[in-house]
Structure 1
Amino acid sequence: MDIDQLTHENPPCFKKYKFKRDMALYIINLINALPLFNKDLMFEGFVPLNSKLLQDKIANYKEYLNYLEHELKIIECDNQYIPGFKSKGYRLTEQYRTEIKSQSVVDFTFGRKLKFERNKRAASVAHLEYLTKWFNPKLEIDLDFVNAFLREEYQLKRYNQALWDYDRNRKKFKEPMMQFNHAKISAEKIDRQDYYLLHDENVYRFHSNLTNMRSIIRNAVTYDGQKLISIDIKNSQPYLSTILLSRSFWIEQKFGAKNEESLSISFDEPQRVTNKGFNDFKRLNYESERGFDERLNISQIKIHENDSYIMLGDIDKSLMNSEFSNYINLVVNGGLYEFLEEEFKINLGEVFSNRKDVKAAVFQVLFTDNRFFGQDEARPKKLFQELFPYVYEVFKQIKSKDKSLLPRLLQSIESYLMIDVIAKRISIEYPEAPIYTIHDSIATTEEYVDIVQQIMSEELSKAIGHPPKLAREEWSKRNMIKYLSGLKESSKIAV
């Protein structure tokens, strides 16, 4: 795409504001870049462009959209707009669905607007210096290796849909060129130290270039020339969900004090563990010895203020005394997915090709709307209710007013434990240990991997009441080579 040649041949006729090429390229960039921050968009084809997002940068954004779509025919629209729910979606026309190339912003005024946005993100992570400081020039990626990998992967997938990534719940594929550009953008940003760091205001996750990157591409990332090793919580969402089955979690309390009469959420400013120093952890242990329950409590979790109308005190107190041991034992022992996979096969005739598909089915069971229960696709959900009726009822009541509350509550718990407790403790006790949180995992160098795993195990056991299953994964370019070899073998079978 030569935007200068295209606009020369078909000059824009804007009414009030002068046309600026940077603004046109920014809109095209959003179509390519937004899937970087919401990977679900890679299954959709069309990328929704929020009017407020555009208006903040481009006053006459509608003129640009019209010009790009109808005059230059660079983009096309799905024309699907639902007020307050869905923005119109856009994608590049087929001619321009090719490998992206980076261009610099040259307009000073527009550059200032983009800088203002970067400053807002920087402000959101100002209190997380113990995480952000590791995004420095020592964090490197082998860009040449990544680009060669991506081109080979694309050539293998391009004309062989059997190799495309498929989402069972959406019944949609990831388009290989969009996947290619997504990975290329994320790799180039690390290579030029263009770091995207954000602490979101929804579930308080820490987003970074690494969280937004395809997991296979992380294998080309090193720190100070050293390989990185990630430590993951296996079955993290089911594991964290076990704390929701504890009555003590729902009892509103101030730190170190119980109120057995109340079973509700406090939406006031939460009583968070500050961890200003190692003395905080000694204090926690001291209070535990005196009989305080160390498990996580709802009062410690920061809930988004928009959820203040949702009171979970409606959960039946007698329900919290029900029998949950079968579900908890399966989760804690790491066997829930395997158990459900076998049950789905025996009772529903559903066979899964890989663990990723089993996980997607379990997420459908846990996180879809209660009203989804009546649909034919909800057979796994109905079976889960038969197998774990009381567990299902707790999750159902949590989602009774808002289907998204259960996944957001679990993500808020995850964020609190991984960022505010575990990563902060590591930074205090081992300030020289590089740490990169990737939602339910932490990556570090080989020197510190044993220490990080020990702290993760201690703090999660304390907070959830059960020890986690942790798994290590070494980031190595060998994994990328092995992945390509698997694709080549699969392509022979598919042909």
Structure 2
Amino acid sequence: MNNNEIDFYIPTNLNIREILKKEGKGKRYIDCQIDKYHWFISSIYLRSITDKRYESGDFLPMNYQVMEDNLGIRYIDDIKRILSENGIIENDGDFTVGVKSIGYRLTPQYQVKHDRILYDSDSTFIKKLRLAIPLKIAAMDDITRYTYHQLNEIGIHREAAEQYVDDWYQQNSLVKNPTLLKKLNKSNKKRREKEKIATAKGQQVKSIQLTYQQMLEKKRDSYLYQIRAIDEKLWLPNRDNKGRRVHTYLSNLWSELRQFLFIKSKPNTQLVSLDCSNSQPYTLAKIILEYFDGIIDSTTPTDVVRYIDLVTTGKLYSFMCQELSITDLDEIADFKVNMFSRVFYCENHKSFFSKEAKVFLKFFPTVYQIVMQEKKYQYNQLSIKMQRVESEAILDIALTNLKVKYGMAVWFGSIHDSILCEKGFEDEVRQVMIDAYTQVLGIAPHIKVAENINVVKDIDVAVQANLPDTTPLAELQQRFEAQFKSTPYKELIAHKEPEIDYRIRKRREAIERGIEW
């Protein structure tokens, strides 16, 4: 973790210092508090490009306790008011105690490219952010701290990964990708629905409908930031208090970038992943079994027996798609997503008439009634229960057992329902996962065949820097003299900006943007 680097991402057309001056704030207030405004804006932006659940233009829930811990209770309301009144942010007005925080987003005017501002100031706020890092590490539970140390061992072939993203961007810019277009239309529709809800709650919000090119640019920025996060260790793993999942830059990483990962101390090692088949419907089985005292016998409804048989053999999706005559891979993927969002994860009144709910009800009427009952009062509690079942099995039992047995000698990691490991340990990991899930649910899962994650590159692991250089001194001198006399070297020196001039220019640019360097 680069503990000494604090950076924020600010829209290129935004100058907070000038806005605070117009608000009548004095120089002392601006100098002391401007970093907090930048933190708030940067938090919204980074959340939109790193959290898979959201996209740019979405309302992003901002937990009040997190804001209070970082900004201080004296300044939160002032910061939100000034940013809102000056048309920089807007919110959805949607707040439910213990369920959802108010969502914020940048207004259309500031949905633009963001500049990275690197802070090296010694302001109280920046010092507080730096000091918070070791405190957060110390406060982690054992498995989260283990994950933190294991993630420090993960590297990424940055140059190759960035080139891959650039090629992806260029290719999809030249020819519009139908799949991406479909996702864009879907996200724009979802955004319009959220905007209607916000308007109904008395909020004045402007419509944000991304174009295809804007979507590509934001995805590119997101992928490049993910690469940088892994390479520079920008994030600390975080275990949430609801589903008890551990969130890391691996769990948020674009799957196409996994091929560039490697273990720093073992760069030639193949990494593999083992996933639980039908993992989310499978975790629901624990909740279903509780309605029958954990016993499946001749009195158990046949649809419950069928459901449990399908999820424990990993055949639920194939069964559903076969019954619906769905064979196209994209349609299968869409059906899985829609089944979760319209059966398991939405309010009951919104799922009654959906195609997915009707199909699920047809084949699994008893299971459907249990799902409806679990969501009756707070619809999100079912998904939280299911995530806790998964986290208990994967993190608290399986990964913990591997940690106890191997310590840091062997690399293991997790991405929610899956465990990542070095090739050669997959058979052991499979059994550990089966045992853990069986311990939690009482029924064994189906674990998929291990899949390779990364593409192993031939890397010379010998540490040449520790070996003595036996090149004769006269030969080294000739090499250096030839290099210094070369035309390319002279041109490079002529165009290279002196370090002192560079820092002066960067400081001037920062001050003009309203930032104390």
Q: What TM-score do the two structures reach when normalised by structure 1?
A: 0.70
Is structure 2 residue 49 aligned with structure 1 residue 32?
Answer: no
Aligned AA (1:154): Y
Aligned-partner SS, 2:116 = coil
Report the equivalent of 1:91. 106
Residue of 9, 20, 29 corresponding to 1:18: 29
Which residues of 2 match residues 454-465 of structure 1 at below 5 A? 454-464=431-441, 465=443
Change (3 A) 1:43 1:344: farther
Structure 1, 209-218 or 8-17: larger mean CA deviation: 8-17
Report the equivalent of 2:399. 423
RMSD: 3.7
Distance in 1, Cα, partners of 2:110 & 2:163: 23
In structure 1, runs of 5+ residues without a counterpart are 252-292, 294-316, 479-495
Aligned-partner SS, 1:41 = coil
Is contact 2:399-2:412 (8 Å) kept?
Answer: yes
Once the 2 structures are TM-superposed, how far is the Cα of residue 237 of structure 1 from its aligned partner? 0.7
Aligned AA (1:381): A
Once the 2 structures are TM-superposed, how far is the Cα of residue 381 of structure 1 from its aligned partner? 0.4
Aligned-partner SS, 2:225 = helix
Is structure 2 residue 198 aligned with structure 1 residue 182?
Answer: no
Distance in 1, Cα, partners of 2:149 & 2:434: 24
Is contact 2:92-2:104 (8 Å) kept?
Answer: yes
Report the equivalent of 1:336. 316
Report the equivalent of 2:446. 468
Distance in 1, Cα, partners of 2:49 & 2:13: 26
Aligned-partner SS, 1:230 = strand
Once the 2 structures are TM-superposed, how far is the Cα of residue 91 of structure 1 from its aligned partner? 2.1
Residue of 403, 406, 410 corresponding to 1:433: 410
Report how many aligned residue pairs link the two structures.
Answer: 406
Is contact 2:435-2:444 (8 Å) kept?
Answer: no
Is contact 1:399-1:406 (8 Å) kept?
Answer: yes
Aligned AA (2:344): L
Is structure 2 residue 301 aligned with structure 1 residue 322?
Answer: yes
> Which whole-Å deviations, capped at 9, do the CAs of 1:355-408 have from their partners, x for residues lacking one?
32121122122232222244x4x1320221121111112222222222112211
Aligned-partner SS, 2:424 = helix
Report the equivalent of 1:237. 280
Report the equivalent of 1:447. 424
Aligned-partner SS, 2:275 = strand
Report the equivalent of 1:41. 54
Residue of 133, 136, 148 corresponding to 1:121: 136
Identity of aligned residues (%): 21
Distance in 1, Cα, partners of 2:363 & 2:186: 21
Report the equivalent of 2:70. 57
Aligned AA (1:372): K
Is contact 2:277-2:447 (8 Å) kept?
Answer: yes
Is contact 2:95-2:101 (8 Å) kept?
Answer: yes
Distance in 2, Cα, partners of 1:29 & 1:472: 38
Once the 2 structures are TM-superposed, how far is the Cα of residue 234 of structure 1 from its aligned partner? 1.7
Aligned-partner SS, 1:476 = coil
Report the equivalent of 1:216. 256
Aligned-partner SS, 1:210 = coil
> Which whole-Å deviations, capped at 9, do the CAs of 1:431-487 have from their partners, x for residues lacking one?
322111111011111132332223223333454313423232212359xxxxxxxxx
Distance in 2, Cα, partners of 1:149 & 1:135: 22
Change (3 A) 1:232 1:102: farther
Aligned AA (2:94): I
Is structure 2 residue 365 aligned with structure 1 residue 389?
Answer: yes
Structure 1, 400-409 or 38-47: larger mean CA deviation: 38-47
Report the equivalent of 1:131. 147
Q: What TM-score do the two structures reach when normalised by structure 2?
A: 0.68
Once the 2 structures are TM-superposed, how far is the Cα of residue 2 of structure 1 from its aligned partner? 8.6
Once the 2 structures are TM-superposed, how far is the Cα of residue 42 of structure 1 from its aligned partner? 1.2
Change (3 A) 1:117 1:246: same
Is structure 2 residue 385 aligned with structure 1 residue 409?
Answer: yes
Once the 2 structures are TM-superposed, how far is the Cα of residue 33 of structure 1 from its aligned partner? 1.2
Aligned AA (1:476): N
Once the 2 structures are TM-superposed, how far is the Cα of residue 248 of structure 1 from its aligned partner? 8.6
Is structure 2 residue 369 aligned with structure 1 residue 369?
Answer: no
> Which whole-Å deviations, capped at 9, do the CAs of 1:39-62 have from their partners, x for residues lacking one?
222175344445554444334455
Aligned-partner SS, 2:94 = coil
In structure 2, runs of 5+ residues without a counterpart are 1-9, 192-209, 457-517
Once the 2 structures are TM-superposed, how far is the Cα of residue 157 of structure 1 from its aligned partner? 3.8
Change (3 A) 1:178 1:55: farther
Aligned-partner SS, 2:119 = coil
Which residues of 2 match residues 61-210 of structure 1 at below 5 A? 61=76, 64=79, 75-77=88-90, 79-84=91-96, 85=100, 87-91=102-106, 93=108, 97-98=112-113, 100-101=115-116, 103-115=118-130, 117-119=132-134, 121-128=136-143, 129-136=145-152, 138-158=153-173, 160=176, 162-164=178-180, 166=183, 171-172=189-190, 175-210=215-250
Report the equivalent of 1:360. 337
Is contact 2:155-2:230 (8 Å) kept?
Answer: yes
Is contact 1:231-1:472 (8 Å) kept?
Answer: yes
Residue of 256, 271, 281 corresponding to 1:228: 271
Aligned-partner SS, 1:471 = coil
Structure 1, 81-90 or 222-231: larger mean CA deviation: 81-90
Report the equivalent of 2:468. none
Structure 1, 410-419 or 351-360: larger mean CA deviation: 351-360
Change (3 A) 1:328 1:51: closer
Once the 2 structures are TM-superposed, how far is the Cα of residue 123 of structure 1 from its aligned partner? 4.0
Once the 2 structures are TM-superposed, how far is the Cα of residue 64 of structure 1 from its aligned partner? 4.8
Aligned AA (2:48): P
Once the 2 structures are TM-superposed, how far is the Cα of residue 246 of structure 1 from its aligned partner? 2.3
> Which whole-Å deviations, capped at 9, do the CAs of 1:200-250 have from their partners, x for residues lacking one?
211211222212222222222111313321111121011222233324985
Aligned AA (1:471): V
Distance in 1, Cα, partners of 2:383 & 2:392: 14
Distance in 1, Cα, partners of 2:299 & 2:131: 48
Distance in 2, Cα, partners of 1:32 & 1:207: 18
Structure 1, 218-227 or 240-249: larger mean CA deviation: 240-249
Change (3 A) 1:217 1:172: farther
Once the 2 structures are TM-superposed, how far is the Cα of residue 189 of structure 1 from its aligned partner? 1.9
Aligned AA (1:238): P
User: Higher Cα Rg: structure 1 or 2?
Assistant: 2
